[in-house]
Amino acid sequence: AQSVTQLGSHVSVSEGALVLLRCNYSSSVPPYLFWYVQYPNQGLQLLLKYTSAATLVKGINGFEAEFKKSETSFHLTKPSAHMSDAAEYFCAVITSGSQGNLIFGKGTKLSVKP
């Protein structure tokens, strides 16, 4: 069965610093991978998705993620954190052909210090 593991339930960075949120997946077949962001008291919003095209995927708000099959990873990065990036981030996987059943990680809460 497919699954995702997000390392670190809470990450804190300074404004302007690199953001790195880790996600590893488990899947016996080629996966589709997603990063969602949840701001306080809101629903989830798609940041970016990997669907077997380019391994480096660019998303909204300056975020990007790289699919590394050899490491079964899909880490999310942003070169310079803004205060507005403070939110919870979820990695999710769908095994191709599973009719859209998203499996979410536990989430990583990102704090940005001034």
Partner 1 sequence: DAGVIQSPRHEVTEMGQEVTLRCKPISGHNSLFWYRQTMMRGLELLIYFNNNVPIDDSGMPEDRFSAKMPNASFSTLKIQPSEPRDSAVYFCASAERARSYNEQFFGPGTRLTVL
46 binds partner 1 (CB under 8 A): yes
36 CB-contact burial (10 Å; exposed 0-12 / middle 13-18 / buried 19+): buried
Answer for which of 12, 14, 80, 96 binds partner 1 (CB under 8 A) is 96
Nearer to partner 1, 43 or 114 (CB): 43
Which residues, at least 6 apart from 53, have a Cβ–Cβ distance to it below 8 Å?
none
Site string for partner 1, 24-43 (x = CB under 8 A): --------x---x----xxx
Cα separation, 85 vs 82, in Å, equals 5
99 binds partner 1 (CB under 8 A): yes
Residues 78/28, Cβ–Cβ less than 8 Å: no
Binding site for partner 1 (CB under 8 A): 32, 36, 41-46, 49, 51, 90, 94-107
